Amino acid sequence: MIIDFHTHVFPPKIKKNRDKYINADPCFALLYARKDAKLATADELVASMDKEGVDKSVITNIGWTTHELCVETNDYILESIARYPNRLIGFGAVQPRSHEAAIAEVERCVSGGIKGIGELRPDMQLLDLTDSQVMTPFIEVIRKHKLILLFHASEPVGHEYPGKGSITPAMLYSLITSFPDVTIVGAHWGGGLPFYALMPEVKRAMKNVFFDTAASPLLYRPQVYHQVTQLVGSDKVLFGSDWPLLAQGQLLKEINSLDLSKETKSLMLSGNAQRLLSIESEPNNKA
């Protein structure tokens, strides 16, 4: 089984009316203002999964800045996982600064079958992770439903790229230490946070932290797989493509070309995600 832990889909109306949403939301504009930035629907994702041999995909939302846009796009994610229950797993979006409305939206999404919240963007959502009035009730509902939080993360050094943002390892680490019992996934190798696992206190703090490989070929040389699995363990890495930014097959080809053990590849490609998402092995179950 292969599980892609990081993909993005949008309703057809957003794909058709890109400019409307660019003008409505700065996070969407940051990511998709360029005409060559790909937007795709759930149907297109499933077709790509079939082509590339991916069994299941987590469809994540983005860091919309308003509650209304979170709800609108969550509707499509809930609809998509209902249409493809054996292929798609949903992560919803919330604007925690919406307070009670955000909590209600988490509850609504849970009732529709979501397994997590993300891809959260505190920088774009103007979310102060130290604001207890906002974060305490939000984390309480996450704990209540044992949801996964997936955060965008980026490197504090290196080249710039659209959507890089400022969620660096320091910000991610502050979140992790504030809520050590919450399962957190740091997208894009956590912006390099795994490299700090050489510090004993950092490694201890990352007990419930995982890292996905989304967009890896655009960020790191292939050696990153060896380095991170050695530093944090092969049980902490999740295959993620960031489709449609990159084709799933591009990352799968890179992973399969590496001198990684069969066990490590198995954990990375499905085992770790199965454990986090409570998915049993379902070979050839595509519907």
Residue 225 binned pLDDT confidence (cut-offs 50, 70, 90): very high
- Entry pTM: 0.95
Sequence-ordered strand ranges (E) for 199-267: 209-212, 237-238
Residue 287 binned pLDDT confidence (cut-offs 50, 70, 90): very low
Asked if pLDDT for residue 284 goes beyond 50, the answer is no
What average pLDDT is seen over the chain? 96
Q: Which segment of 11-15, 51-55, 261-265, 278-282 scores lowest on mean pLDDT?
A: 278-282
What tens digit of pLDDT does each residue of 227-248 get?
A: 999 999 999 999 999 999 999 9
**For the residues 98-123, what does the mean pLDDT come to?**
98
Which one has a higher pLDDT value, 162 or 115? 115
N-term to C-term CA, the chain: 15
Domains of the chain by start residue, with CATH: 3-277 (3.20.20.140)
- What is the model's pLDDT at position 282? 60
Angstrom distances, CA of residue 122 to CA of 35, 43, 143, 177, 247: 25, 29, 19, 16, 27
Q: Cα separation of 248 and 29, whole Å?
A: 24
**For the residues 200-229, what does the mean pLDDT come to?**
97
Asked if pLDDT for residue 44 goes beyond 80, the answer is yes
Asked if pLDDT for residue 125 goes beyond 50, the answer is yes
- What is the model's pLDDT at position 280? 83
Share of the chain above pLDDT 90, in %: 96
